[in-house]
Amino acid sequence: MPEQRNPHFEQAVRDSFAAQQLMATIGARLARVAAGEIEIRVPFRSDLTQQHGFLHAGVVTSALDSACGYAAFSLMPQGAGVLTLEFKTNFLAPARGAELIARGRVVRAGRTITVCQAEAYMLSDGTENSVATMLATIMTIRGRPDIVG
Amino acid sequence: MPEQRNPHFEQAVRDSFAAQQLMATIGARLARVAAGEIEIRVPFRSDLTQQHGFLHAGVVTSALDSACGYAAFSLMPQGAGVLTLEFKTNFLAPARGAELIARGRVVRAGRTITVCQAEAYMLSDGTENSVATMLATIMTIRGRPDIVG
Amino acid sequence: MPEQRNPHFEQAVRDSFAAQQLMATIGARLARVAAGEIEIRVPFRSDLTQQHGFLHAGVVTSALDSACGYAAFSLMPQGAGVLTLEFKTNFLAPARGAELIARGRVVRAGRTITVCQAEAYMLSDGTENSVATMLATIMTIRGRPDIVG
Amino acid sequence: MPEQRNPHFEQAVRDSFAAQQLMATIGARLARVAAGEIEIRVPFRSDLTQQHGFLHAGVVTSALDSACGYAAFSLMPQGAGVLTLEFKTNFLAPARGAELIARGRVVRAGRTITVCQAEAYMLSDGTENSVATMLATIMTIRGRPDIVG
């Protein structure tokens, strides 16, 4: 019998995201939660920049990682914990613009390992420009009351 | 004739790091600058955490990325710009402890492409525990007055 | 003035592929050549397997790497050389079936750096099953008569 | 009670390597087996080359992947199966020379996930030149009689 996905996944994602204090620190918000798909947005702020005035690669990666992790988590059973094993990010263009949009989706969800892919865009004058792409490996943790969400 | 490295690389690294506003935002400081080797430290702060109370993967990656980028930059000629093309991070253990230490070093420095490796540790009661490892590809930008440092 | 793409890119790709002796050794053929998109096929052979009887990750990666490299090369100017800087492969399922299909495409082509993405499938009874995904960074080499193609 | 490592790991590694038919096809041999450390050697052959006459990135990666996988496997319990989840390879120099040497080692071995690092060298006139570096994520499979070794 296949394991049941968490029927309350949206609330579980929102609760866990709210517990990621870094997301509040960088001004990130959860813009969309669907089964296997997450969108996170981060308005540009000058205190998040690298030396040329663009968003730092670490900020772009923070949003991409959370988008991947919650895309995976949205398909996990109730009570599971989510853990990023590793990710790779390619930077395609300087992250300049008004708002960062990070969209993560599940490529393949296995019992223990989920592979996710995410894209980052900068929104400028209504146009989205691709700035980075991530490929990530996420693990489902079971039976660990200290690692839930 | 081989290209000359920037004789003032330490100051150039310090100036560029000071211009990365994200580093101040997360409380990161440049702990060591040597030719091809950089150490960055970030004291634990609860506003930098993920949902289980450990430092967020994005914070660890921010420090590792800057450590790799400046390790590469320290070997570049004067007036060059430094650009992260991509990186991969593997997470080895939860980032719990008093202070994050990110150490980056150059694996191979080419004319255009530099490959760097970095390790992240959490310092707890005087002991360093390995929490992540990064492999990064960095590019040297020349002749672009808008991308210096 | 933007640099002109090689108008004879298809022949250039086919000539370079034919010079990759490994492709003949593993029985790989160039199934499709388009601007920015390449498909390579490798029929299953037991002498290409790992210990469980599936295609070895190295064979899957060889096909994905050539698919990415030639997707990038197809958009380069005449006389350029193509060099893989790095790649990451995630394995999604065991590579069992009759034929490996590797499809590479350009995500972003810059003057020096091209980012490519590729998918690998195994064909079984007319169905394609996803087995791996690659994200690769490719470099354009100019003015090096020893590195053309 | 911690799980016991396979006391016969060397034989288990040698048996599994012998079952990887690709290794014989490319002429690879197991040069060293130790707990958590593996060396594989592949003499240069022109039928393993890319278009410029160097060893193909896929051959280098095949040797690095097997070196990482068996380094991880050497620390696993008896009866376990080894599975590569993903790897990233950076290429540092053209793979020219008489023999490829791939050395893999375990960075961190967990119950389910092992992270490995590997270096590739080309041996020329007694000198080893670094040509590639890999960072890999390996999984331990338990209780699957169809995936042992």
Instruction: Confirm or reject contact between B145 and chain A (CB < 8 A).
Output: no
Question: Helix-strand-coil percent breakdown of chain D, rounded to 5?
Answer: 25, 45, 35
Interface contact flag, A85 D112, Cβ < 8 Å? no
Query: Tens digit of pLDDT for each residue in B116-140?
Result: 999 999 999 999 999 999 999 999 9
D93 neighbourhood in chain B, CB within 8 Å: 108
Predicted confidence band of residue A3 (pLDDT cuts 50, 70, 90): confident
Separation between Cα atoms, residue A40 and residue A109, nearest integer Å = 21
Separation between Cα atoms, residue A21 and residue A26, nearest integer Å = 9
Separation between Cα atoms, residue D18 and residue D29, nearest integer Å = 9
Separation between Cα atoms, residue B3 and residue B6, nearest integer Å = 9
Predicted confidence band of residue D4 (pLDDT cuts 50, 70, 90): confident
Query: Tens digit of pLDDT for each residue in B93-103?
Result: 999 999 999 99
- B118 with B105: CB under 8 angstroms? yes
Length of chain B: 149
Secondary structure letter of residue D26 according to DSSP: T
- D123 with D131: CB under 8 angstroms? no
- How far is C43 from chain A, CA to nearest CA, in Å? 24
For residue C1, pLDDT beyond 70:
no
Predicted confidence band of residue C148 (pLDDT cuts 50, 70, 90): confident
Query: Quick one: pLDDT at residue D3?
Result: 73
Percent of chain C surpassing pLDDT 70: 99
Classify residue A4 by burial, with Cβ atoms within 10 Å: 0-12, 13-18, 19+: exposed
Closest by Cα among D95, D111, D116, D6 to D50:
D95
Query: Quick one: pLDDT at residue C72?
Result: 98
Closest by Cα among C98, C94, C95, C102 to C43:
C98
Query: Quick one: pLDDT at residue D5?
Result: 92
Interface contact flag, D137 A112, Cβ < 8 Å? no
Chain A window 63-102: which residues touch C at a Cβ cutoff of 8 Å? 88, 90, 92-93
* Angle ∠(A47,B141,C12) on CA atoms, nearest 5: 125
B vs D, Cβ pairs < 8 A, gives 32
Question: Helix-strand-coil percent breakdown of chain A, rounded to 5?
Answer: 25, 45, 35
Q: What is the mean pLDDT of residues A106-115?
A: 97
Closest by Cα among B22, B111, B16 to B61:
B22
Secondary structure letter of residue C149 according to DSSP: -
Q: Which of C107, C108, C111, C113 is best to mutate for the B interface (most B CBs within 10 A)?
A: C113
Q: Are strands D37-43 and B37-43 parallel, antiparallel or unpaired?
A: unpaired
Q: What is the mean pLDDT of residues A13-36?
A: 98
Interface contact flag, C139 B113, Cβ < 8 Å? yes
Interface contact flag, C137 B112, Cβ < 8 Å? no
Query: Tens digit of pLDDT for each residue in C119-146?
Result: 999 999 999 999 999 999 999 999 888 8
Domains and CATH numbers, chain D: 9-141 (3.10.129.10)
Query: Quick one: pLDDT at residue D143?
Result: 86
Separation between Cα atoms, residue B69 and residue C74, nearest integer Å = 31
Largest Cα–Cα distance of chain A, in whole Å?
Answer: 54
Query: Quick one: pLDDT at residue D2?
Result: 57
ipTM of this complex prediction, to 2 decimal places: 0.96
Secondary structure letter of residue D100 according to DSSP: E
- How far is C125 from chain D, CA to nearest CA, in Å? 23
Q: DSSP for A43-56, please give it.
A: E--GGGB-TTSSBP
Query: Tens digit of pLDDT for each residue in C18-36?
Result: 999 999 999 999 999 999 9
Closest by Cα among A59, A97, A70, A65 to A13:
A70
Tokens 């995410």 locate to A118
Percent of chain A surpassing pLDDT 70: 99
Chain B window 2-41: which residues touch A at a Cβ cutoff of 8 Å? 16-17, 19-22, 24-25
C115 neighbourhood in chain A, CB within 8 Å: 90, 92, 133
For residue B149, pLDDT beyond 80:
yes
Predicted confidence band of residue D104 (pLDDT cuts 50, 70, 90): very high
Separation between Cα atoms, residue B7 and residue B29, nearest integer Å = 22
